[in-house]
Amino acid sequence: MTAIPRSTPPYGGTIGRLTEDCEPAPLALDSAPDGAPNVVVVLLDDVGFGAFSSFGGPVDAPGLERVAAEGLRFNRFHTTAICAPTRATLLTGRNHHTVHMGRITEAANSFPAYDSVIPREAATVAEVERAVEELDRQASQLRLVGRTFLLDLVMQAPVRFSTAVRAALEAELPSLRPAVVRSRFHLREEAGVAAMVATLRDVRRRRSHGVVLKAPDHPDVAAEVAALADAGVPVVTLVTDVPRSRRLAYVGIDNDAAGRTAAYLVAQGAPASGAVLVTLSRSDFRGEEQRVSAFVDALHDLSPARRVVDLTDTDGLDPTTGAGVRAALAPPAAPRRPPRRADVGAVAGPGRDAVQPPPCLHHPLTTPSPIERDQPH
C-alpha cells in the first residue's frame, strides 16, 4: 500500500515579517487518494460502549446512526474507557492487560501488565497478517519441492545472440529454487517458417511447462502457438513479437521508440547528406520491421533529403551481411561502350564479312544493387 501515508504539501500562503504582510492559505478538505483502503477508524477516548444513541446511549449522534444504519454494528467490542489501553486493544485484538497496556503510558511501571511495552508474543493485527502471508509463501515453496519444470527456448537468431540469451537464462534459473527448472534449447541461425513450426510441434509432443520464443511473425507460427496454449503450455515471445497469436506475453523493448531514437541520433550526429544503410536479419521479424519503419518515418521528418537503403534477409549472419554491405557500398560499374563501326571493320579481312559485335555489348553492364526504399511522402 503506497497511497498512504500522504506527504505534507508545501504551504500555499504567504508568510511575511509583519502580520499585514501575511496571507493565509485556504484550507482544503482532503479526500482519500487513489488506492487508499475504504476503511475509516474513528477512535474516541474516554467514551463508554453505550454512550452514543447508535447503541442505545443517551448521546444523540445522528451522523453515526446514519453510518450504522447502512453498515454493520458490532456489539462485542471490549472498551477500556481510556486512550492508550483502547488503542492497544484495537491494534492487537487482545485484552489490554495481556499486551501490557493496563493503564496510560505516562503511568507505566515495571509490572508485566503495566510496563506499556507490547510483548513479542502479542503481535499487532498488521504483524499477524504479514506473518500469514509469509507462511503462505513458504507453503507454496514447499509444494514446489521435488517438482521439475521443463522450459524450452526456441530461437532463430545469430549464435552470438542466442548464446548470450542462453547464458542469461541458465544464470537465472537457479534462483527459482526450491523448484527445479530444466531448460531445453532449440537454437537456429537459419530457419524457415516450416522448420520453426516443426520445432514447436515437437516441443508440444515432448511436453513442456513453458516456451520462450523468438520466431517470425507468420500465421503458421501463430497457429502452433495456439496449439501449445490449448495443450496448457504458455508461450512468451522474446525481442520480436507474434502479436496475433495467443502468446501469454511479449518481453522486449519498445521497437517504435527505439527506431525513432536511432533516427534522432543519426540526424543529429551524422553529416546532413548521404544515404543511410539499414540492415534487417529478416523482414518477417516483427520487432525489426517495427524499428525500421519507425526509423524511416522519423528520419524523413528530421532529414528529408536523406536516402535509406534497405539490406534485408541476411539472417544477421556476418558473411551474408558483409556481402550485402559490400555490394551496397560498391560504386556502380561504368557502362561499357559498344564497339564503333570502324573497330568492327578492322577485324574484317578482304573477302570476309564484317564481324558483328556480340549482342551483349549493345547494353550497359551494371552490378546488382541493394533494394532502395524511397522516403515516405
**146-158 pLDDT tens trace:** 678 899 999 998 8
- Indicate whether this model's pTM tops 0.75: no
Joined grid coordinates for residue 355: 564481324
CA gap 263, 276 in Å, rounded: 10
Cα 201 to Cα 218: distance, rounded to the nearest angstrom: 15
pLDDT at 191: 75
Q: How far apart are CA 274 and CA 188, in angstroms?
A: 36
pLDDT of amino acid 347: 35
CB-facing half-sphere around the CA of 290: CA atoms within 13 A: 17
Q: Is-contact 273 309, C-beta < 8 A? A: no
C-alpha span between 219 and 196 (Å, rounded): 12
Q: What separation, in Å, do the N-terminal and C-terminal C-alpha atoms of the chain show?
A: 50
pLDDT of residue 344: 37
255-329 shares the fold of 145-251: yes
- What's the pLDDT score for residue 233? 95
3-state helix/strand/coil string of 319-368: HHHHHHHHHHHCCCCCCCCCCCHHHHHHCCCCCCCCCCCCHHHHCCCCCC
The CA distance from 157 to 185, in Å, is 13
For the chain, what are the domain ranges? Answer: 145-251, 255-329
CB within 8 A of 313, min separation 6: which ones?
Answer: 280, 281, 282, 283
pLDDT for position 226: 96
Please give the grid coordinates belonging to residue 150: 521443463
**Model pLDDT, residue 136:** 82
Architecture field, domain 145-251: 3-Layer(aba) Sandwich (3.40)
Work out the angle between the directed axes of helices 286-302 and 255-269 (0-180°, nearest 10): 40
Q: Is 235 helix (H, G, I), strand (E, B) or coil?
A: strand
CATH of domain 255-329: 3.40.50.2300
Query: CB–CB of 248/236 below 8 Å?
Result: yes
φ/ψ (deg, to 5) at 348:
-105, 130
Contact predicate 356/338, CB 8 Å? no
What is the pLDDT tens value at each position of the chain, 377 positions in all? 455 556 677 888 888 888 888 888 887 777 777 877 777 777 777 777 778 898 888 999 999 899 888 888 887 766 677 888 888 888 888 889 989 999 888 888 888 889 988 887 888 888 888 888 888 877 776 666 667 889 999 999 888 899 999 999 988 888 887 778 889 999 988 878 999 999 999 999 998 999 999 999 999 999 999 999 999 999 999 988 998 899 999 998 888 999 999 999 988 887 777 788 888 877 778 788 888 889 989 988 988 888 888 788 777 778 888 888 888 777 766 565 555 443 333 333 333 333 333 343 333 333 333 434 444 43
Which pLDDT belongs to residue 324?
Answer: 82
Instruction: Give pLDDT, residue 166.
Output: 92
